[in-house]
Chains A and B, each alone.
Chain A
Amino acid sequence: MMRLPKMDYIAPNTAEEVCSLLNKYGQEAKVLAGGTDLLVASKLGINKLGLIISLGKILDLKGIYEENGYFKIGAMTSLYEVRYNPFILNHYPALAEAAAAVGTMQLQHMGTLGGNLCLNTRCIYYNQSNRWRKSHAICFKMGGYVCHVVPKGKKCYAVFSGDIAPALIALDAQVKLIRTGGERVVPVCELYTGDGREPIALQTGEILAEIRVPLPIGRQYSIYLKYRQRGAIDFPLTGVAARAVINSYGICNDFKLVLTAVDSAPREVFEARELLKGKTLSAEIISQVSQRAMEGAHPVANTSGSTPAYRRKMARMLTLRALTSIAQSLSLVGV
């Protein structure tokens, strides 16, 4: 068993305390939500932490409620709770499916919604022990100047492998970020920098407090599909979240398609929205949208499971299946 390196630990009762500690200790400190990603990385020696600040005691970060046209979920809500929440199951199936697709049941109990959104990017050259990495030059992700996956690359290509983010982006969700003396609310997609090295756009001293999902207007369909090699445990090798708002004539009024695990950030396929808007979900349109999904996916060879070419094919196939599934639900209700 690998051990955690020595570090200080504190579990404040309020978010204010957390923010002020983060301001004080800067890079040395990290917040601990479920720990299913952070502690594994610490054991490997990837991050050298002086102080770990647990969010576990802060009651304000938990809870699920409806307010001002939003369904609000505390960042420390467990993925397991999200997975089985009746309102989420009913109105945001993509979110419930994404939560159910994370790791295993055990990890879903420990892992939190906010934690999964803030998942660090991954790479087969990065998520290794210190000793392992010593056989290679220091890469961008570790603070160096090379990429072992894209040898002539000028940046880090580490892959974002969260299941939750694509679902929430598809659902037009926002996140509330709080800091000492203030807060801001931004769309979930703005949480991501697109830079493999520093993937999460939280500022120093800022923590993710809440997720806000707009209450569904009209007939909204959403779905999340994930490709992984095994029936459990694995991170996605490709993930697709889709949301369609369909009027009673079967016309798509709004549509969003978001990919995960094919880039350093969750990637919305904007062309898909344009293609579908004002149209019905015909087989031809579905096929075109799926093609755009494949073209919008740019995975590199930084996972142990699949080749980039296959993951691109899966972006198309999962999109095809997601949209076909929505089209089938429509036919069931007679649209």
Chain B
Amino acid sequence: MGTESYSVIGTRQPLIDGLVKASGEAKFTEDLALPGMLIGKMLGSLYPHAKILNVDHSKALTLRGVKAVVSGVDISGKKYGDFASRRDQNGLTLKARYIGDPIAAVAALDEETALEALDLIRVDYEELPVVFDPEHAMEEGAPLIHEEYQRNIVAYRRFDFGDVEAAFRDSDYVREGRFSSQAISHGVIEPRAALAQYDLSGKLTIWTSTQSPYWIRRDLSLILNIPESKIRVIKPYVGSGFGGKGSLYSYQVAASLLAMKTRKPIKICLSREEEISTTCLRAPMIVYVKTGVKKNGTILAQYVRCLADGGAYASSSVLMMYNSGLTCLIPYRIPNFKYDGYMVYTNKPISGPMRGHGANQPRFAIESQLDMIAEDLNIDPAELRLKNATQAGDTSISGLVFNSCELSKAIKETTKHAEWDKKRGQTGSNRGIGLACGGFVSGARLGGHTASGCYVQVNEDGGVTVTTGSSDIGQGSRTIVAQVAAEELGLSPSDITVLSGDSETTPIDPGTFSSRVTFYSGNATLIAAREVKAQLSQIAAKIMKANANDIVFQDKKVFVRGRVDSYISFAELAKKTEGMGSGRLIIGKGQWAPTNTQFPDRETQYGNVSGAYSFAAQIAEVEVDPETGQVKVLKITIGDDCGTVINLSGAEGQAEGSAAMGIGHALMENIIFGNNGQIMNPSFLDFRIPTARDVNDISVLEVGSPDPTGPYGAKEVGEGLLIATVPAIVNAIYDAVGVRITELPATPEKILEALEKKKKEKYL
């Protein structure tokens, strides 16, 4: 691999659905309508912690146009949640655990009536003691948010590899620090929506904005107490998810319940306020890091402790806290490593998966601390990272196997491109440059369903239909699978029709999360397309009187190797195939999951959860105004090792999006909680994501080499890049003005305060 030349793979491909999206023709869930459809609205709790004694909806039902009201008492099934061990959600709750926790839902002829009806529903609450601070929530005697979880600890993960204590003793230098990262909303451009229909046969169909029809079907089946096969989940076009749209949410349960109750289609669309307050957020986390190194900067040991504020429900808790530890071991060789990760319940909105999924917070802490160590030991931060960088062929102390890794190359190329040596440590300019690294799994294998499937069918006219389980939520996976099929069959991606995201008609697939789609679905498509190619080769061989192995598919032509002039077109071959003998259908089937993973040991957690790992180095250049503390990010240079690039435009899009999202996380995005745990800024006016004015120059350098497991050697590109952006910016701020921000976001007031403090100390 690597020397092969591809015709489609690695090129710049416009998204095959780009035109319909850009023109506004693409239909998202909110655009859909069915005859007789009713509009649903959700009623949330006014209190952060309260028993729901009674929901009286008699008055609401008397309002003209109101058709039904449902609440917790209408729920007949079992609780649901991302992981079987942590199923704690009831859809419509009987005990409110945060302000906004959905209690009831109403269906009416129109939205105005539904909203009016909400005000007529009378809820009797019995207020309960509250706890908002995760450190308090862990104390003995703190109010229990879910009775079965002592000290409110919903997840605890622990690693202990090597001998950390001995290694700290052997270290020439040990540094400890405390860091914290804030709550963030995903900022999806399409607020969540669902349209549910229940028919006479007892089948529930739900069109919804999701990353995973599979998970929605599984959890709806649990909570509604109907078989999975009686539920069809269709994912229309989705306006991004960033991890947050994987789980089942109350509004989807409510739409389904109301559809079953009224026998009418029900549509529920969340407002931005509901979107921010009642779905999930990036977990606020406190991270303690202790690192021991030799004088030359070689890392000997690291101990990482995380305390995540989980909010009211478990969501992905166990996996998030696993990731927070696991991802510490990707970018660098750490011979002795210990980790304790806690997630606790609080009476605040839910913390759930978000791009990077638990990796971002400890990575910010570690990369900040590495810079501090480099300064203390007078080592260039890039050198320090090169000295410890993971190399291809390494196995981490925890069992992660890195078959491909170009992190060192990423560091070297980004530092060269950004003129690191020239720009670093310029005193007096207020400009600074900072480096950080990252890496991520290409799909984590942690139990449950994980494989991806694909069918490739050749149509009479030579068009090809790919039916894939993958869920495109805007990241471009439709185009990726089209490219794979096109590459194998010598076609162009525009010849490929991709059907995806329908639990009834497309292969079972867990969906889009954990950066698994290109890796898994790409491989499944590759297998199916190669099967089609093999079937067609046999027919072509017959027609051309040649060996099937010598048949070449290229530029929509089929010919015997070396005899391109006597070709037949792909369409002609397809047509001829139909008529062969008694007639033939060309269908290829592919299903794939990596075989090189090793399920983590239940005791020690030793194992290899992913078939491949991405790596990244990032350099941020900033200018800090020393009089106001304001930061301008001038440039971000990204060295991306995602293995073989499949779609160059897509990979760059992921990189640029990561940079913008990282700027938001580092500098401005911040969910503010009131003293009752309520979100104070549930709008895009007050929850500030970067604007085009806040994002400047971004350079992307693709440095990967083919990975042996990924399709054509590809690995993930969606998450590993983001986690390096935040510490790169924070390290650059330090380089610019000598101020170390350990609590995110790095706001102007924090920077100015630190500058003023520094000035004072200087004169003392």
- Tell me the A residues contacting B by CB distance below 8 Å: 1-3, 5-6, 104, 124, 128-129, 131-132, 134-135, 227, 229-235, 304-307, 309-310, 313-314, 317
Contacts and interface: CB of A to CB of B under 8 A. Distances in A.
A185 B276 CA distance: 46
Interface of B: 30, 44, 46-47, 99, 111-112, 118, 191, 269, 271-273, 627-628, 668, 672, 676, 678, 680-682, 685-688, 690-694, 747-749, 752
For the complex of A and B, the 10 pairs showing the least CB-CB separation, nearest first, are: A231-B693, A304-B686, A310-B749, A304-B681, A232-B691, A232-B693, A135-B46, A231-B694, A230-B691, A134-B46
A304 B680 contact: yes
B408 to A, nearest CB: 36
B628 A124 contact: no
Contact of B668 (A131, A230, A313): A230
Nearest to B627: A317
22 contacts: A124-B680, A128-B273, A131-B118, A131-B273, A132-B273, A134-B46, A135-B47, A135-B678, A227-B628, A229-B748, A230-B694, A231-B691, A232-B692, A233-B691, A234-B685, A304-B672, A305-B686, A310-B749, A310-B752, A313-B752, A314-B628, A317-B627
B678 A2 contact: no
A230 B112 contact: no
Q: Which of B112, B678, B688 is most buried by chain A, counting CB atoms within 10 A of its CB?
A: B688
A332 B505 CA distance: 73
A135 B681 CA distance: 14
Contact of B112 (A3, A129, A229, A307): A3
A135 B676 contact: yes
A132 B678 contact: yes
B468 to A, nearest CB: 31
A201 B627 CA distance: 37
Nearest to B756: A313
Contacts of A1: 30, 191, 269, 271
B672 A129 contact: no
Nearest to B42: A131
Contacts of B30: 1
Contacts of A128: 273, 682
A227 B272 CA distance: 26
A146 to B, nearest CB: 14
Contacts of A3: 111-112
A128 B277 CA distance: 13
Contacts of B694: 230-231
Contact of B685 (A129, A227, A233, A314): A233
B694 to A, nearest CB: 5
A128 B681 CA distance: 9
Given A124-B680, A131-B273, A135-B99, 6 more contacts: A6-B112, A231-B691, A231-B693, A235-B685, A306-B749, A310-B752
A310 B748 contact: yes
Q: Which of A104, A235, A304 is most buried by chain B, counting CB atoms within 10 A of its CB?
A: A304
A5 to B, nearest CB: 7
Contacts of B191: 1
Contacts of A6: 112
A2 B628 contact: no
Given A1-B269, A132-B273, A317-B627, A229 B668 contact: yes
A119 B694 CA distance: 26
Contacts of B273: 128-129, 131-132
A102 B682 CA distance: 21
